[in-house]
């Protein structure tokens, strides 16, 4: 079964610093991978998705992620953090055997002045 693991339940960065949120996947077939963001009291918003095209995927709000098959990783990055980036971030992989998105447990990003 397809699954993802997010390393680090909490990440803290300074405003203007690099954001790196880690996600590793487990899949027996080429995966379809997604990053979502959840702001307080809101639903999930799609940041970007990988569907076996380009390995470097650009998303909204300056985020991007790189698919690395050799490392089974799909880490999310942003060159310069803004205060407004503080939120919960979820990595997800599409289940090949059903209709679900299998989500990681999430990483809470804190941005300090």
Partner 1 sequence: ETGVTQTPRHLVMGMTNKKSLKCEQHLGHNAMYWYKQSAKKPLELMFVYSLEERVENNSVPSRFSPECPNSSHLFLHLHTLQPEDSALYLCASSQGTGLGYEQYFGPGTRLTVT
Footprint of partner 1 on this chain (CB under 8 A)? 32, 34, 36, 41-46, 49, 51, 90, 94, 96, 98-106
Shortest separation between residue 68's beta carbon and partner 1, angstroms: 20
Smallest gap from Cβ 83 to partner 1, in A, equals 22
- Residue 92 φ then ψ, to 5°: -145, 150
CB of 80 to partner 1, least distance (A): 26
Q: Are 110 and 12 in contact (CB under 8 A)?
A: yes
Tokens of 26: 């487990």
How far is CA 77 from its chain centroid?
A: 8
């Amino acid at each position: 079964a397809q699954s993802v693991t997010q390393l680090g339940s909490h990440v803290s960065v300074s405003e203007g610093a690099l954001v790196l949120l880690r996600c590793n996947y487990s899949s027996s077939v080429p995966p379809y991978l997604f990053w979502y963001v959840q702001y307080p009291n809101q639903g999930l918003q799609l940041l970007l998705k990988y569907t076996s095209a380009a390995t470097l995927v650009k998303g909204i709000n300056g985020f991007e992620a790189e698919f690395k098959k050799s490392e089974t990783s799909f880490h999310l990055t942003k060159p310069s953090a803004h205060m407004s980036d503080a939120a919960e971030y979820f990595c997800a992989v599409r289940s090949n055997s059903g209709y679900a998105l299998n989500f990681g447990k999430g990483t809470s990003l804190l941005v300090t002045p």
